[in-house]
Amino acid sequence: MKRIWLLLLLLIATLAACAGQTAPEELRTIRLPMGYVADPQYAPLYVAVERGYFAEEGLALEFDYSFETDGIALVGAGELPFALASGEQVVLARAEGLPVAFVMQWWQQYPIAVVSKASAGITAPGDLAGRNVGVPGFFGASYVGLVGLLFANNMTLDDIDANEIGFNQVESLLTDQSEAVVVYINNEPVQLAQRGEAINVIAVADYANLVANGVLTNEQTIAEEPELVEGFVRAFLRGLQDTLDDPDMAFETSRRFVEGLTDDRRGVLDASLELWRAEPLGRADPAAWQETHDLLLSMGLLDAPLDDIEALYTNEFVERVQP
């Protein structure tokens, strides 16, 4: 009988202890517009999710790879707290009155380049004069990067034969429909090299200091939920640092997020790593924002100069979370 009473007392004590425990706090799901398909270039985010860095901040990410998703508009309207975006789009959005701002500059080098067959002899921007240059479209980062490259070398679109070819740069170049094509430096050059084609690459970042991709939010989120912004940036930066430290791990982690990921895509990650490095990671460069603004103004994409370029970005959260 005594043994039974002891067991009952132990059971009561255990139940009481369990009753006093609170259930784990539910994670807040954040839908994140990516701007592109699932790809190893997003390895830092995949690593941060897989290692629980976002969960530690009380967050769960839902990756939105839909091309039709206008992340900047949704963030500007306050319908989503974050999106991945390119710097020139932030400038254009602010000019339209959207209260958006960068809180983390992920890509430190503008990833656009002009690629040609080595046999074409195009090794410098001046060599593009009079050449047939294929452009995905006269919009977006590719267009801005091309014009920025030309502008930095005292040239304009009138000096080249620019043609809209869609996202068929590799085939357009290989079939000689274009003498040169505008590409993402971490993508099409990798594909061309894998096909055994000798190429020349002119990187826009070697001639123009433009703002590339980063994390976009809005003024309301910064003002009302600074802890959310800080947590998001901290988790992202942890994943970014881990990816830079161990690319092999990052690529293997990407396999769990990118369906059918094959080894030939490893080159995309390797080509991206140097575009992300900075000291400290994630910090915005004021000079790059000024140059991006001035280029858009010279292109006629801005009707007038912005009153406050510093409102386009903040380094506050990156500086808070740096060790």
d(CA 216, CA 20): 41
The CA distance from 197 to 179, in Å, is 14
What is the tens place of the pLDDT at every residue in 138-195?
999 999 999 999 999 999 999 999 999 999 999 999 999 999 999 999 999 999 999 9
Tokens of 299: 């292109």
- For the chain, the C-alpha Rg in angstroms (whole number) is 24
Residue where the block lists tokens 């690593």: 47
User: Do the beta carbons of residue 315 and residue 284 sit within 8 Å?
Assistant: yes
Does position 19 have pLDDT exceeding 70, yes or no? no
DSSP 313: B
Question: Whole-angstrom Cα distance, residue 172 to residue 166?
Answer: 10
Contact 223, 99 (CB under 8 A): no
pLDDT given at position 25: 67
Q: Three-state DSSP class for 143? A: helix
What percentage of the chain exceeds 70 in pLDDT? 92
Beta strand pairing call for 180-184 and 132-135: parallel
- Among the listed residues 293, 302, 234, 280, the one whose alpha carbon sits nearest the alpha carbon of residue 87: 293
| Identity of the amino acid at 71 | G
Query: End-to-end CA distance of the chain, in Å?
Result: 59
- The pTM for the full model equals 0.90
Task: At 228, list the tokens.
Answer: 């959310």
Q: Does residue 101 carry a pLDDT above 60?
A: yes
Each residue's pLDDT tens digit, 70-97: 999 999 999 999 999 999 999 999 999 9
List b or e across 191-200, with b for residues whose CB sees 16 or more CB atoms inside 10 angstroms: bbeeeebebb
Average pLDDT across the chain, whole number: 92
